[in-house]
DNA sequence: TTGAAAGCGCTAACAA
DNA sequence: TTGTTAGCGCTTTCAA
């Protein structure tokens, strides 16, 4: 039995079809309050027969509860953020909460715009990548009066709470491992992204440790766009021609590092003897390469999960207090491209 | 000047702060109707000073317009769907529409559940992966009375409209190219996913053409979980040991194909002389490998864009009629692993 | 256990 | 150009 109109069904339709008040229908559909089994059965039957789908818009307005979690990330175009989203999804799946995602393309103005739009849905919480936001964004986040988790990075002060790793420390530790292994002529390759603060912090931590040890980056190159693997290949070739004395290459992400590694192996160059390599992210891809690139896990899935758990805890009834800073500590995966000394 | 209460601001607050009626404030904030410049300025100033963020929940209920597009996809864990999402985002960015995404993990029951939840937000349109849905899903989609675009696949009948490629044809064409190149001892490797209908259709098209030519798949292997690149490596090794006479390996995706390729190159095997290879998807990654895997583009970005364009067109005022079936036609990229004859 | 009334914050429609 | 009224579909609150 289906209504012929195109107007979406309302509670009233179910109420009329079942001969039960709207209020009781609402109770049945939300499993709230006491409803007799007989009534419940009639209502459910009617709802199913009609094909009724509740209207969350109206429900949210009436109850002043919007079970949405706004997720603001810079990009979808490498596996980093999809993996974070997977972590968020995994946790929110078991709750009433549902993520809504917006992408900023690493542009502060766009971040401001999408955050405003997300907040106008009056979400119950926000998960947002990074600690660097415009004043306007920070003001909006504070004014929203909802749990906010800033993710990926913990080098800074959160508006509310944060989950991530210290990218500065990641850079420092990698530098220490490289120096300890005896490499001294170091080249760096990364993305041309002044607004990727996390890459910047890794680089800062990296050069800081080098400097303390009297070592300086010998050569550097940046790319944008294109296949990261291919770019890694090209840049590595160019850099090795330009600076043949280099004995280590540090890449800002695993994909370009893998490209560089494949190039060097092609050339028959001894890795890690003649030259060592390291990337960043700990991408699964590396497991399939002929030789494993040294890297450091960015803890993407775990960050997504923890962030979602914080939001869920803070919104639970009664609310659970959570830590305001969770710093995950990745360790170096030496792989086959960085001597362990 | 900031209110001290935690209660979110409403139009009424802006109205009082600016001395203008709520209705006029609403008009200003939506750039609707005629408002004097003076009034507009006062309202905007007040809204900004207060930090007012409109409530879309209330707006949507009152106007009966919800500018959300529900996007239902099976997975986020390889680059396929994030790329589709990027295409959707690119197009919707220039409209009032905003995507909300849900993931089904290739599980029909979950598809039913998330579709129901999405529809309860009363979105203005739906983009959903695949043509295979439960009766309940199809019923919901029809009853919603909104534009629905089924994406990725065009081998079947859509509820409303579809954008994608013919996976059966993709399989057939690859089989033809392989046979034409003179390969006859063919092995197949893919994911253990009975519910990935697109992979299944490619396989069916593939074997159909082989059969017509009196050729049969000699060996096959399936995997699940883990790093696809590593799995490709392992499976290829195992298969070559088991069936050393094979002269072609067809992979259901590029990542396992790339793993296989790297393995064979490691072994010093002549590709494509002794053995040919092909994958599917046209992933950017391939560009960086020492030798390019033959593949076929799945047109991911384009599918996302076209689907979003259809939704946008159908929702525009006045609505624009669109095609109900857009079949993109990928061509084979022979790369370096499939002889071109 | 059920129902009636009021109202969430906004916008459509109409009036001034 | 601005304001008033009614009501979107649901839930809260209170009464029966």
Interchain CB distance below 8 Å, A100 and B103 = no
Q: Average pLDDT in the B159-178 region?
A: 98
The reply to whether the CB atom of residue A119 sits less than 7 A from any atom in nucleic acid chain C is no
Q: Do B76 and A60 touch (CB under 8 A)?
A: no
Q: Which residues of A, range 230-249, sit inside 8 Å of B by Cβ?
A: 230-233
pLDDT digit string (tens) for A260-289? Answer: 999 999 999 999 999 999 999 999 888 989
Q: What mean pLDDT comes out for the span B286-304?
A: 94
B contact residues 276-335, partner A, Cβ 8 Å cutoff: 284-290
pLDDT at A2 over 70: no
pLDDT of residue B319: 87
Q: Is the CB of B29 under 7 A from strand D?
A: no
Tokens of A160: 């509310």
* Cα–Cα distance measured from residue B112 to residue B129, given in angstroms and rounded to the nearest whole number: 13
Torsion region of B259: left, alpha or beta (phi above 0 gives left; psi -120 to 50 gives alpha): alpha
Distance B52 CA to C15 C1' (A): 29
Name the pTM for this structure.
0.94
- Reported CATH class of domain B167-298: alpha beta
pLDDT tens for each residue of A30-64: 998 789 999 999 999 999 999 999 999 999 999 99
Judge contact between A281 and A298, C-beta under 8 A. yes
How far lies B157's CA from each of A51, B107, B138, B255, in Å?
A: 22, 20, 11, 30
The third-level CATH classification (topology) of the domain covering B1-52 is: 434 Repressor (Amino-terminal Domain) (1.10.260)
Contact B288 A230 (CB under 8 A): yes
> Are B143 and B155 in contact, with CB atoms under 8 Å apart?
no
pLDDT tens, A85-99?
Answer: 999 999 999 999 999
Structure confidence by residue, pLDDT tens digits, B33-67 = 789 999 999 999 999 999 999 999 999 999 999 99
Most distant pair of Cα atoms in chain B: their distance: 85
- Domain A56-165+301-327, second-level architecture: 3-Layer(aba) Sandwich (3.40)
Between CA A186 and CA A260 the distance in angstroms is 14
- φ/ψ of residue B333, rounded to 5: -100, 110
A109 and chain B: CB distance < 8 Å anywhere?
Answer: no
Distance CA B141, CA B127 (A): 10
Chains A–B, number of C-beta pairs less than 8 Å apart: 144
> Which residue's CA is nearest to the C1' of nucleotide D12?
A63
| Maximum Cα–Cα distance across chain A | 85
* Mean pLDDT (whole number) for A237-250: 97
pLDDT score for B3: 38
B96 CA to chain A: closest CA distance, Å?
10
Summarize pLDDT for B85-137 with one digit per residue, the tens: 999 999 999 999 999 999 999 999 999 999 999 999 999 999 999 999 999 99
| Best mean pLDDT range from A148-152, A192-196, A284-288 | A148-152
CA distance B76 to chain A (A): 6
Q: What percent of chain A has pLDDT over 90?
A: 91
* Residues of chain A contacting residue B85, judged by C-beta atoms under 8 Å apart: 76
Q: What are phi and psi of A67, to 5 degrees?
A: -85, 50
Comparing CA positions, the residue from B149, B147, B144 lying closest to residue B161 is B149
Q: Can you give the pLDDT at residue B4?
A: 42
Q: Inspect the interface and report whether the beta carbons of B57 and A61 lie closer than 8 Å.
A: yes
Residue B318, pLDDT score: 86
In the structure, what pLDDT confidence band is assigned to residue A110 with cuts at 50, 70 and 90?
very high
Which of B288, B297, B336 to substitute to test the interface with A, most A CBs within 10 Å? B288
The strand order across the sheet containing B217-223 reads: B217-223, B186-191, B248-251, B276-278
Q: Give B64 CA → D2 C1' in Å.
A: 24
Chain region(s) in chain B for CATH 1.10.260.40? 1-52
B26 touches strand C (CB under 7 A): yes
- Bridging pattern class, strands A295-296 and A332-333: antiparallel
A184 touching chain B per CB within 8 A: no
Sheet containing B98-103, strands listed edge to edge, beginning at the edge strand earlier in sequence? B98-103, B68-73, B125-129, B148-153, B161-165, B325-327
**Do the chains contact at A76 and B56, CB–CB below 8 Å?**
no
Distant-in-sequence, close-in-space partners of A226: CB < 8 Å, separation ≥ 6: B284, B287
A8 touches chain B (CB under 8 A): yes
**Cβ contacts of B102 on chain A, cutoff 8 Å:** 98
Chain A closest-CA separation from residue B147 CA (Å):
13
- Cα–Cα dist A134/A153, whole Å: 16
Cα nearest neighbour of A225 on chain B: B284
In chain A, ranges of CATH 3.40.50.2300 domains: 56-165+301-327, 167-298
CA trace torsion B299, B305, B310, B312 (10° rounding): 170
Beta carbon of B234 within 7 Å of strand C?
no
Burial of residue B176 (number of CB atoms within 10 Å: 0-12, 13-18, 19+): middle
């Amino acid at each position: 039995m289906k209504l012929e109109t195109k107007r979406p069904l309302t509670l009233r339709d179910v109420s009329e079809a079942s001969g039960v008040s709207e209020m009781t229908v609402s109770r049945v559909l939300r499993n709230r309050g006491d409803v007799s089994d007989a009534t419940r059965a009639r209502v459910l039957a009617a709802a199913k027969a009609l094909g009724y789908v509740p209207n969350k818009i109206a429900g949210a307005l009436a109850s002043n509860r919007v079970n949405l979690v706004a997720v603001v990330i810079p990009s979808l175009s490498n596996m980093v953020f999809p993996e974070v989203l997977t972590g968020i999804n995994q946790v929110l799946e078991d709750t009433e909460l549902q993520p809504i995602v917006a992408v900023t393309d690493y542009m502060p103005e766009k971040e401001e715009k999408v955050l405003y739009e997300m907040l106008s849905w009056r979400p119950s919480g926000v998960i947002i990548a990074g600690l660097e936001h415009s004043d306007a964004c920070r003001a909006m986040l504070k004014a929203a009066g909802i749990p906010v988790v800033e993710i990926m990075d913990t080098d800074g002060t959160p508006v509310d709470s944060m989950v991530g790793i210290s990218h500065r420390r990641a850079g420092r530790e990698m530098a220490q491992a490289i120096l300890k292994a005896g490499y001294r002529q170091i080249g760096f390759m990364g993305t041309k992204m002044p607004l990727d603060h996390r890459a910047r912090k890794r680089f800062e931590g990296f050069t800081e440790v080098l400097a303390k040890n009297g070592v300086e980056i010998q050569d550097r190159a940046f790319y944008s766009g294109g296949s990261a693997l291919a770019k890694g290949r090209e840049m590595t070739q160019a850099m090795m021609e330009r600076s043949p004395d280099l004995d280590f290459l540090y890449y800002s992400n695993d994909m370009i590092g893998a490209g560089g590694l494949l190039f060097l192996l092609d050339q028959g160059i001894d890795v890690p003897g003649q030259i060592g390599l390291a990337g960043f992210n700990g991408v699964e891809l590396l497991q399939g390469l002929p030789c494993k690139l040294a890297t450091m896990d960015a803890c993407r899935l775990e960050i997504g999960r923890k962030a979602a758990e914080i939001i869920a805890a803070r919104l639970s009834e009664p609310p659970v207090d959570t830590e305001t800073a969770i710093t995950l500590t990745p360790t170096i995966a030496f792989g086959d491209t960085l001597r362990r000394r």
